Amino acid sequence: MSVPDPSSLDIEFMSRACELARQAQRAGEVPVGAVVVKDGTIVGEGWNRPIGTSDPTAHAEIIALRAAAAALGTYRLLDTTLYVTLEPCAMCAGAMVHARVKRLVYATTDPRAGAAGSVFNIVQHPALNHRLKCTGGVLAQECSAMLRSFFAARR
């Protein structure tokens, strides 16, 4: 799923997701950020907020998907790409499938809960009615370092 030479657009949009992850970190949340892009324009953004909102579903991806759906006026996010700094969990991966996101780009894998190939592969599961194209590893070192630093500081 990794691509050795990501496009400049992938780097640009993942950079924005990294900025959002830093915002989550400043708020004391796990530093994960996400953006939804359609036709080269960001239509939804989010960062992790489950602690601050007391909402277990307030993951960066869910917030970004909700914002994109509101901006586009539809729950079907056809021809969109979701960029996220950490491989999605099962909840977020399922939401992407239901929303019909076309492509997922993530920075670093999640070996404990990743649902885009690490632990599960919900986004490409043959039993489901929609599958996403996936690209992993875009700005992986930067996002991985941010997560390691965050968890090291909490120990």
Any known ligand binding at 134? Answer: no
Any known ligand binding at 92? Answer: yes
Query: Which two tokens mark 50?
Result: 């489950």
Any known ligand binding at 18? Answer: no
Q: How far is CA 123 from CA 12, 131, 135, 146, in A?
A: 23, 5, 12, 25
CA pair distance 70, 117, nearest whole angstrom: 29
CA pair distance 120, 97, nearest whole angstrom: 14
Active site residues: 61
Give the annotated binding-site residues for Zn(2+).
Answer: 59, 89, 92
Give the annotated binding-site residues.
Answer: 59, 89, 92
